[in-house]
Amino acid sequence: IKHRTDPLGACLRLHIATGAQRWEQLRRATRADIDSDIQALRLLDPKGRRETARTHWVPLTATAIEAIDACSPADPGAFVLSCTGGKSGADYAAAARAVREIAGSLVASGVAVAPFTLGDIRRTVETRLAAV
């Protein structure tokens, strides 16, 4: 994904750079959810039996900020994780297809031993970060 210059490549880089946060939460975030003073992105986690979504702050590295800039304009209303220049959040199905294609080429070239999914990436990153 490092060499992809398309918006979906930037979205995939942002996904990884933010610790593989849930795609649906990332796709709802807008530029207004970025706090540049603390270099963090506010995500709202509505899952579970909560009446109001839990606020979750995700630190933004230089890589994440670069990916955000490639995904969306600086307009506060622009969606952060976007393939449409900030007009809408990036589609999970398109990202999942791209990851399947990437995984297939990595398996074919011998770099990976088995195919993987976008969900596998999330679980693996979460597990590795929890182990630190």
DSSP structure string for 2-66: TT--SHHHHHHHHHHHTTS--HHHHHH-BGGGEETTTTEEEEEE--SS-SSPEEEEEE--HHHHH
Residue 50 clears pLDDT 80, i.e. is over it? no
Query: How do residues 29-47 score in pLDDT, each as one tens digit?
Result: 999 999 999 999 999 988 7
Q: Is 112 exposed, middle or buried (0-12, 13-18, 19+ CB in 10 A)?
A: middle
Query: How do residues 65-93 score in pLDDT, each as one tens digit?
Result: 999 999 888 888 899 999 999 999 999 99
Structure tokens at 49: 């039996």
